[in-house]
Structure 1
């Protein structure tokens, strides 16, 4: 993920590796990144166009990657060696990674790398307690240099700015300072011999007119940093930032080693530390908690503070306007995420056990959650507090939760007592307990149009309860297997149920009749676990879909469960439309269809034998009563599975919670050529020709048939505002939906707010009756429009409130000064300065009349 700290945005790069990512190297200009996974496979990624440029395999596990400051080379540490490669350039190359040199010296695994500012030398730390300095070129007075003195593995080593002086830090907390009596300019280039000398002599003969200094620069192949860059680095070159296993970090000033700042950020070990070029911001990563912090040490404030769920996410829900996502996890936390920025902005920690269900009310201002701790809680998004707690007469564990369309009735299903509890949101009182199921309640769902509650259970039934008819059972739907999930279509006319035999059945809730079914066993394609005794084909018999979600228009349904795939089905045709693979990470379990024969030995499977693997190979879970560091701790690989699915009300994206985290799939970020009713006569040239002839209607139709965003924006913005009503009324009906979708997407990023509002108002007024006749199809587009308008409304409201407070302050100040002048002697210089301040505030706020009155 890439975080833009200044604009408060985050982006996920569209790439995936076969194993967990081990290290990342970033080029000095910030345009390229080298991403290496645990297996040694590397991806060269362009951060500008967000695409993979090259694939490479280092043939071994890589510990760290580092670019040289001039961007010409990069070094990787692999095993006990360091390899230097030529960095890829701006031109297209057949092989982007060309090996230059291989450096030997350490006897154990290498751990860290750092370069000098002039890219002439680099230093490598090792687990054998030694630090090695290597020359990036063939220097006459420096080939390699080994530094000892530490009593534990080296965790960090770095050069001082514009110097060969070196600092090395070991795992036991010892810091060594090494001084070099040779300045960087004192390194002498070794005279080439053999074929290099012949090649150099040939070049000298061809370029005999060049001066001696220019020849030396060509031989070295180095770009020296500018003087301004040197000065900028010297300013903050003496700061040492250290993170400890206890979650504390220290900031020291070197070489006196004075403590500047100390802070405890968590109770887990700090796994990575980085500092920006100016030295103001420090970034920390804590892998145990999934925590990322950016700390500004001078003002002692957080620039960024993000933390995911400690354990796996279990459930999620979209807000009615599609701006927010709420997730619940096994760690008992409820987090609310902004879908536009990708950041979590509030975390509720009132639950004491795992959260099993989350949902929004119809207004979008209240979140209702259920938990295994025996409570159902309601959270207010205005004041960020838990304002209702619903409990049952007898302690029970709640497995699911649902809220009706009015937001007044809250229901939760029990896992142990097989009952459905119903409360009033207004009073918090328990209204009724619905009994009748003979197994744990696995799912609840309210009809979006009526107060009908559907409850699914392991007793092979789905019961429909009428909330207005004395809470009695309206219908009982008998299934062929245990029910695992239930959901209503957005219009409330259809019910979908997922069962344990991998089927999805569709029912007419009004007549209690089955209308169709989908067999999904072959679409799950589950993998084989490391400890399974049977093949993946036979293990798929026990797998099923555990979560369902209708699309916004109700034509498709998403299904996910005990597999890495999410299947999209067409409901009416009952066919598989598309299958999404959420992950290709083999660091997770149940990913491979066949077992690796190299892991099979004469003593059995290595997964059964090697139980003392380190934390790098899995998640360490100590047994009860086991102290830290005990050899009896067990390790496992998380199993890939999808726990919850939700479609956005706008219909443009859907989200899934899985072992890999929270994933959002969207139509808005795809750059695809998707024309609409295209023929040979429609071209960008003819579209612009129609604009020059001021035939705006024809130009708009041609642009939307090409379906190119820049061309559509150009044609719409070329229309004069006074002609919008006429042109919008002349658009054919199929194009009205296309224009509305474009306007909804434009509200996310465009500055022409009033212009696009005129277009939206004109289209809705001209074609309102026809849009009402097919409200179900147009509803996602209207909700997409509402999402963009709501965001602008919130931003404008804050700005207007700020202006209003400034105006009130200026008016109160002017009245106070005027009263003083009336009661006291003629005005002083302080009064004149105060009046000038009030005038300045009034004119900034646009209140010219009030300013004239003050004058």
Structure 2
């Protein structure tokens, strides 16, 4: 249970492709990210990724009207029926083809998928348990090209389907007598979206060339009548009616419902007819700009359209009045969604991996998130575990909040790929290295780049490290084989360490001493003493190229990953190897599409490229060119657990065996680019080329793990991979992890001890049972006056358990003062005895610090806000009091001037008190 880490969240990527959906309450956005789905809670400012995944990238998401169910369809046509309430998969289904769009009916009884040039209607899963959740009802034919979009009428009687053949088709969900299907033309390009009006059969259709057609129907939805059955169904129905007529007389209304209208009514009401009443154009100025996405809010008649240039328009229909126009990026808008109230609009841009939520009435962003454009290369946890900083090949440095999952600052000063990121010991400074030849330091208080370290000759830095004091910054060069050392205080270059004969692959400072370990491709690891004229203290000879190096948190051990898939452990004091782990068979790499060998033989050339010790130093994480991350026990040198980061077959190097069906007489099918020529008619006829216009070519990135870090709290660890930043954590609520349990410990005896006010015994039994609710009940039953006595009587073995429980309670509980009192008394009573196990207790203390720091930040903001308001009120009242004594009768102009003076006075008061702010 100690290593029961489970997938917790996906950061670093907010949108890839597919359609966006708002939940039924309008407060959350459901965004497909690769083969996973992330729910962004805009009200509580949190993001949460569902713990499920499809085999390929998700192409479309259908959300039920009540917001409880969702259907996720991937590129291969496989679908998952997901419960958003219990966050689990209820059913799996395969549509036997690529699905373009999916939509539930407003009553939630049916849903339609567009596949190829047909539309299929299925019975939606109900509340009762069914043998097959998806039952095909009807298949609709009509378009001769691919279908693109779906929309339903409010009463679920009809739906409309758009197609790439420039036609729009209206189909009846039932067998209506006066409407079976209806085809609408009038466009000169592929249909992008089509929408019904509220409680009407009138509809709008939009094409890719920026044309909007308004269609008016001469029939109301209530005038649709069911078609009379024929054949054996008619005979069976007639026999049933005759039997009913013998028993009682049948009313005319019921016969009309059965589908038998009188001849007079049939003559009066003919077939449904559509007529085009208007046609509007978005590109009136003549600039050709493809329309890529659209959404329509029926209650407010608001139409939102997104274009390939990144511009979006807001129009009011049917008058086509322009309300607003804005450019959100220079990339195409792939998806648009409007929430239920019509206030918020969500935009997804797959080219930038960008997700925006715009409040159009106040013209402000509710959410503006963007992931790394290219793959992430490195990550680092802050010392308190609240933040994660990532660096990517796009040159951006992003800082993520681990609690909310949002990025709150992006630094773009680097002009090339970022190769290394790290925090200083205080957690207020981020130091990064880049291929542009600079090492930069960023301040998290003022969010600026306050130091830039450079080398005398331009060089490419491959790694960076900062010592425990935060005063010495070092970076390794990839081309000159040197290590550069700077002073953080002055920014000056202190020394250049030479001696390696190959590129520097990793740097790491000893946490307890100022000793720098450098790993290189020259098959050595060198230890440099920063206090003794930067001389080489030791040289550790390896059997292969060194790829990564890291110190244990107490600095007493050094781990090195080499090119021959081994992890070697060294005693840095005596320069003696203490152990090694052979990881060749644990990597389990996959076979690439163009490889002609199996995954088993492909793994021979792979190795671990990143290492990280756990918070207590007993285990080590290792990752590399594989979808697996291995957790080893250092002392026993055995594999404890292997975590699979991805099951997405849209990535390369995921296959295990050679697929002969993909081999043709002309070569591998992967060399034939199916997507070439699809975008704007541009075709690149060079097979196998991975450079060029990535948006118009089919390119499969290779799965790999570039960086691993354990949280200082020990509760979670993070990995940067091809899919993004994945966080794995211990889910304590779902685990039963007993501690020294015997048959005498039961919930009944715990509550009995609480009734008898034997608090120490009750707490000990609760933590032996290790049930969170029982432990909370036992701790909160202790009166505040007796906390000191009870905490002093706890055995030392249980103090760590109680501190860990208190640390986790700070994140969710509102009893802040009560738990603070418990923490203070425990540390005061057992502080001296716990010093001997300081290394083991360090993760628990940092977990406590993380929760307390978050509360401190929240309370500090609230106190500052109250303080400014009080200063403003005092300044205004003082100014008015002075005016009243000098001039009893004030004119209106004087009153306005006094308000301006009070604002200047407030500014002076705030400036004068700046020094006292925390």
Q: TM-score, normalised by structure 2?
A: 0.85
Compared with structure 1, are the counterparts of its residues 443 and 836 closer, same or farther at alpha carbon in structure 2 (3 Å cutoff)? Answer: closer
CA drift of 1:750 comes to: 1.1
Distance in 2, Cα, partners of 1:395 & 1:264? 38
More displaced, 812-821 or 539-548? 812-821
Distance in 1, Cα, partners of 2:655 & 2:248? 61
CA drift of 1:137 comes to: 1.7
Secondary structure class of the residue paired with 1:637: coil
Residues 377-416 of structure 1 aligned to structure 2 (within 5 Å): 377-416=440-479
Compared with structure 1, are the counterparts of its residues 239 and 261 closer, same or farther at alpha carbon in structure 2 (3 Å cutoff)? Answer: farther
Post-superposition CA distance 1:722-762 (Å, at most 9, x none): 22222222222232222111111111121111111111111
Task: Give yes or no for contact 1:404–1:447 (8 Å, CA) kept in 2.
Answer: yes
Compared with structure 1, are the counterparts of its residues 331 and 837 closer, same or farther at alpha carbon in structure 2 (3 Å cutoff)? Answer: closer
Post-superposition CA distance 1:182-208 (Å, at most 9, x none): 111111123445666688789998999
More displaced, 463-472 or 79-88? 79-88
Distance in 2, Cα, partners of 1:745 & 1:535? 46
Secondary structure class of the residue paired with 2:811: coil
Compared with structure 1, are the counterparts of its residues 138 and 230 closer, same or farther at alpha carbon in structure 2 (3 Å cutoff)? Answer: closer
Distance in 2, Cα, partners of 1:271 & 1:97? 28
CA drift of 1:21 comes to: 0.6
CA drift of 1:785 comes to: 0.5
Compared with structure 1, are the counterparts of its residues 645 and 633 closer, same or farther at alpha carbon in structure 2 (3 Å cutoff)? Answer: same
Distance in 1, Cα, partners of 2:260 & 2:475? 68
Distance in 2, Cα, partners of 1:223 & 1:638? 62
Distance in 2, Cα, partners of 1:725 & 1:231? 86
CA drift of 1:834 comes to: 13
CA drift of 1:764 comes to: 1.2
Distance in 2, Cα, partners of 1:656 & 1:805? 42
Post-superposition CA distance 1:453-482 (Å, at most 9, x none): 000000000000000000100000000000
CA drift of 1:806 comes to: 2.1
Secondary structure class of the residue paired with 1:552: coil
Secondary structure class of the residue paired with 1:232: coil
Distance in 1, Cα, partners of 2:115 & 2:49? 28
Task: Give yes or no for contact 2:679–2:696 (8 Å, CA) kept in 1.
Answer: no
Task: Give yes or no for contact 1:421–1:430 (8 Å, CA) kept in 2.
Answer: yes
Task: Give yes or no for contact 1:294–1:305 (8 Å, CA) kept in 2.
Answer: yes
Task: Give yes or no for contact 2:225–2:259 (8 Å, CA) kept in 1.
Answer: no
Secondary structure class of the residue paired with 1:767: helix
More displaced, 733-742 or 783-792? 733-742
Q: In structure 2, which of residues 777, 782, 803 is the aligned counterpart of residue 740 of structure 1?
A: 803
Compared with structure 1, are the counterparts of its residues 175 and 830 closer, same or farther at alpha carbon in structure 2 (3 Å cutoff)? Answer: closer
Distance in 1, Cα, partners of 2:518 & 2:378? 17
Compared with structure 1, are the counterparts of its residues 389 and 839 closer, same or farther at alpha carbon in structure 2 (3 Å cutoff)? Answer: closer
Post-superposition CA distance 1:104-133 (Å, at most 9, x none): 111111111111111111111111111111
Distance in 2, Cα, partners of 1:223 & 1:809? 76
Q: Corresponding residue for 1:456?
A: 519
CA drift of 1:90 comes to: 2.4
Compared with structure 1, are the counterparts of its residues 709 and 427 closer, same or farther at alpha carbon in structure 2 (3 Å cutoff)? Answer: same
Distance in 1, Cα, partners of 2:147 & 2:881? 75
Compared with structure 1, are the counterparts of its residues 631 and 448 closer, same or farther at alpha carbon in structure 2 (3 Å cutoff)? Answer: closer
Compared with structure 1, are the counterparts of its residues 219 and 355 closer, same or farther at alpha carbon in structure 2 (3 Å cutoff)? Answer: farther
More displaced, 22-31 or 506-515? 22-31
Compared with structure 1, are the counterparts of its residues 305 and 686 closer, same or farther at alpha carbon in structure 2 (3 Å cutoff)? Answer: same
Secondary structure class of the residue paired with 2:373: coil
CA drift of 1:173 comes to: 1.3
Q: In structure 2, which of residues 327, 334, 338 is the aligned counterpart of residue 271 of structure 1?
A: 334
Compared with structure 1, are the counterparts of its residues 807 and 733 closer, same or farther at alpha carbon in structure 2 (3 Å cutoff)? Answer: same
Compared with structure 1, are the counterparts of its residues 275 and 713 closer, same or farther at alpha carbon in structure 2 (3 Å cutoff)? Answer: same
CA drift of 1:89 comes to: 2.0
Task: Give yes or no for contact 2:482–2:504 (8 Å, CA) kept in 1.
Answer: yes
Distance in 2, Cα, partners of 1:340 & 1:226? 68
Task: Give yes or no for contact 2:355–2:369 (8 Å, CA) kept in 1.
Answer: yes
Residues 582-597 of structure 1 aligned to structure 2 (within 5 Å): 582-597=645-660
Task: Give yes or no for contact 2:875–2:902 (8 Å, CA) kept in 1.
Answer: no
- The answer as to 2:782 corresponding to 1:713 is no
More displaced, 231-240 or 188-197? 231-240
Secondary structure class of the residue paired with 1:268: coil
Compared with structure 1, are the counterparts of its residues 475 and 62 closer, same or farther at alpha carbon in structure 2 (3 Å cutoff)? Answer: same
Compared with structure 1, are the counterparts of its residues 124 and 237 closer, same or farther at alpha carbon in structure 2 (3 Å cutoff)? Answer: same
Residues 296-315 of structure 1 aligned to structure 2 (within 5 Å): 296-315=359-378
Distance in 2, Cα, partners of 1:393 & 1:848? 42
Compared with structure 1, are the counterparts of its residues 318 and 629 closer, same or farther at alpha carbon in structure 2 (3 Å cutoff)? Answer: closer
Secondary structure class of the residue paired with 2:255: helix
Compared with structure 1, are the counterparts of its residues 58 and 575 closer, same or farther at alpha carbon in structure 2 (3 Å cutoff)? Answer: same
More displaced, 481-490 or 738-747? 738-747
Q: Corresponding residue for 1:175?
A: 212
CA drift of 1:719 comes to: 2.1
CA drift of 1:86 comes to: 1.6
Q: Corresponding residue for 2:127?
A: 90
Distance in 1, Cα, partners of 2:499 & 2:271? 73
Post-superposition CA distance 1:252-298 (Å, at most 9, x none): 11122121111111111111111111111111101111000011111
Compared with structure 1, are the counterparts of its residues 330 and 840 closer, same or farther at alpha carbon in structure 2 (3 Å cutoff)? Answer: closer
Post-superposition CA distance 1:223-267 (Å, at most 9, x none): 999999999999999999x11111111111112212111111111
Compared with structure 1, are the counterparts of its residues 828 and 387 closer, same or farther at alpha carbon in structure 2 (3 Å cutoff)? Answer: closer
Compared with structure 1, are the counterparts of its residues 233 and 772 closer, same or farther at alpha carbon in structure 2 (3 Å cutoff)? Answer: farther
Post-superposition CA distance 1:142-165 (Å, at most 9, x none): 111111121211111111111111
Distance in 1, Cα, partners of 2:601 & 2:916? 86
Task: Give yes or no for contact 1:455–1:462 (8 Å, CA) kept in 2.
Answer: yes
Compared with structure 1, are the counterparts of its residues 320 and 22 closer, same or farther at alpha carbon in structure 2 (3 Å cutoff)? Answer: same
Compared with structure 1, are the counterparts of its residues 232 and 570 closer, same or farther at alpha carbon in structure 2 (3 Å cutoff)? Answer: farther
Distance in 2, Cα, partners of 1:178 & 1:828? 61
Compared with structure 1, are the counterparts of its residues 697 and 109 closer, same or farther at alpha carbon in structure 2 (3 Å cutoff)? Answer: same
CA drift of 1:49 comes to: 1.5
Distance in 1, Cα, partners of 2:271 & 2:617? 59
Consecutive unaligned residues in structure 2, runs of 5 or more: 1-38, 279-304
- The answer as to 2:272 corresponding to 1:208 is no
Compared with structure 1, are the counterparts of its residues 654 and 234 closer, same or farther at alpha carbon in structure 2 (3 Å cutoff)? Answer: farther
Q: TM-score, normalised by structure 1?
A: 0.91
CA drift of 1:175 comes to: 1.2
Task: Give yes or no for contact 2:179–2:271 (8 Å, CA) kept in 1.
Answer: no
Q: Larger relative contact order (C-alpha < 8 A, sep ≥ 6)? A: 2
Task: Give yes or no for contact 1:238–1:254 (8 Å, CA) kept in 2.
Answer: no
Task: Give yes or no for contact 1:420–1:433 (8 Å, CA) kept in 2.
Answer: yes
Distance in 1, Cα, partners of 2:702 & 2:211? 40
Compared with structure 1, are the counterparts of its residues 632 and 642 closer, same or farther at alpha carbon in structure 2 (3 Å cutoff)? Answer: closer
